[in-house]
Amino acid sequence: MSHNEILENLDNIVKQAICELQKINDHTAIEQWRVKYFGRKGLFADITSAIPHISPELRSETGKKINTAKKQLMQMFEEKLGFLKNKEASDTDVNFTIPGIIPDVPNLHPITLVSREIVGIFQKLGFGIHVGPEIETDFYNFEALNMPENHPARDMWDTFYLDEDRKLLLRTHTSPVQVRVMQKLSPPLRIIAIGKTFRRDAFDASHSPVFHQVEGLMVDKNITFSNLKAVLIFFLRELFGSRVRVRFLPSYFPFTEPSAEISISCVICGGKGCQTCGNAGWLEILGAGMVHPEVFRKSGLDCKNITGFAFGAGIERIAMLKYGIDDIRQFYLNDKRFIQQFG
C-alpha cells in the first residue's frame, strides 16, 4: 500500500467511523464500534501495519496523520459514551408521586439573631453600618487608638501577630473601624461595626479565642457624655426590656477619656442577687467613653471643633445574658439541638 493509498484509506475510515458513531444509541453498539476501529485487529491497527512498507521519509508524516485521526475519533468516542451514561441515568424510572423529604433547616444562630437585633436598634437612631478588615495593622489596632509601642495598655489584649515584625495581626477589637471611618468620612458621624475579633484566650466556659464585638461611634459638634448615656440607655432597654436599670461607673480605656464601665441590673434575678451576677445584682455589659483627642488627631480630624463618644460590647456576652446560656462554647459546637432552641 502506497503513501497516497494509506491517506485515502485513512480518510475513508474516519468518515465511516463518524457516520456509524452518530447512529449508536446503546452501550453494546458503542463497544462493538470501539473494537472495530481500535481493537488489536481493528482498522487502525491494520492501517498502521502498512507504514513500514512505504518510503522512510514519508513514515513520520503518515504516522502523525494516523495518530491525529485516532485522537479525533477517541475524543468523539468519550463524548458519546458520556452522553449514553447520562441518558441511561435520566431514563431510570422515577416515581414522582412519592412525597419529598422536608429539608432539615435549623434556626438562625443566636449570634446572628442578636447581631440583627442590635443593628435594628441602632438603625432606629440613624446609625450606619460599617465593616473593617479582620487582619489589621499595628497602627489601626493600637497606635491610632492612643496605644504607642510598649504602652502598658497593650497587655489588656493577648494578640495574634502574623509576622515577625509584629506589624500585622488579627484584630483584637472592632475599635480600629473607628479610625478607618474617621479617615474616610467627615463629621457628623453615627456608625456601628459588628464583626469577629481574636485574642489568645483559653477556650473555656467564658472565653474564646474568636468572638464577636459591636463597636459604636458618634462624632459631631457639642457631643457630650449625656448623649452617650441617652443612646446606651435606649439601646440596653430595647435589648433587655424597659425595666432594666443601667449603671455607669468610672473605668479606663486608652482611646476614651473619660471612660465608663456600663452595667445592667441582672436579667436573671432582677437585681436581687444570684449566682450569675455574683450576688451583686449587676452585670457588666459594655465599655464606653468620650473619644480621646489623640484618636481624633491620628484620624486626621481637628479635635478643637468636634467631640464624640465610642462604645464596645461583646456579642456573645449579650447573647448569653439574653438567652440564659452559661457556656460560651455552645456557640461554636455546631449542635443542631442547641440552634433549634432559638426562633
What does the pLDDT read at residue 5?
78
Indicate whether 320 belongs to any domain: yes
Indicate whether 288 belongs to any domain: yes
The CA distance from 215 to 176, in Å, is 9
Domain containing 66 equals 3-90
Same-domain status, 118 and 30: no
Task: Give whole-number Cα distances, 185 to 141, 178, 194, in Å.
Answer: 19, 11, 18
Q: Which residues of the chain have pLDDT under 70?
A: 1, 3, 88-95, 343
Q: According to the annotation, is 257 in a ligand binding site? A: yes
Same-domain status, 251 and 211: yes
Indicate whether 83 belongs to any domain: yes
What does the pLDDT read at residue 316?
94
Closest alpha carbon to 171 in 204, 191, 142: 142
Q: Which CATH number does the domain housing residue 313 bear? A: 3.30.930.10
Number of domains composing the chain: 2
Task: Give whole-number Cα distances, 282 to 150, 226, 248, 265, in Å.
Answer: 34, 22, 11, 5
Same-domain status, 130 and 235: yes
- Angle, CA 112 vertex, CA 111 and CA 114 arms, to 5°: 65
Indicate whether 97 belongs to any domain: no
Indicate whether 172 belongs to any domain: yes
Q: What is the 3-state secondary structure (H, E, C) of the chain?
A: CCHHHHHHHHHHHHHHHHHHHHHCCCHHHHHHHHHHHHCCCCHHHHHHCCHHHCCHHHHHHHHHHHHHHHHHHHHHHHHHHHHHHHHHHHCCCCCCCCCCCCCCCCCCCHHHHHHHHHHHHHHHCCCEECCCCCEEEHHHHCHHHCCCCCCHHHHHCCCEECCCCCCEEECCCCCHHHHHHHHHCCCCEEEEEEEEEECCCCCCCCCCCEEEEEEEEEEECCCCHHHHHHHHHHHHHHHHCCCCCEEEEEEEECCEEEEEEEEEECCCCCCCCCCCCCCCCEEEEEEEEEECHHHHHHCCCCCCCCEEEEEEEEHHHHHHHHHCCCCHHHHHCCCHHHHCCCC
**Residue 20 amino acid letter:** E
Same-domain status, 278 and 182: yes
What does the pLDDT read at residue 207?
84
What does the pLDDT read at residue 177?
95
Same-domain status, 64 and 132: no
Indicate whether 35 belongs to any domain: yes
Same-domain status, 25 and 163: no
Q: Which three cell numbers stand for residue 3?
A: 503513501
Long-range contacts of 9-13 (CB under 8 A, 24+ apart): 9/47, 10/47, 10/65, 10/66, 10/69, 13/37, 13/43, 13/44, 13/47, 13/69
Indicate whether 102 belongs to any domain: no
Single out the residue in 59, 90, 121 at which a domain terminates.
90
The CA distance from 227 to 308, in Å, is 9
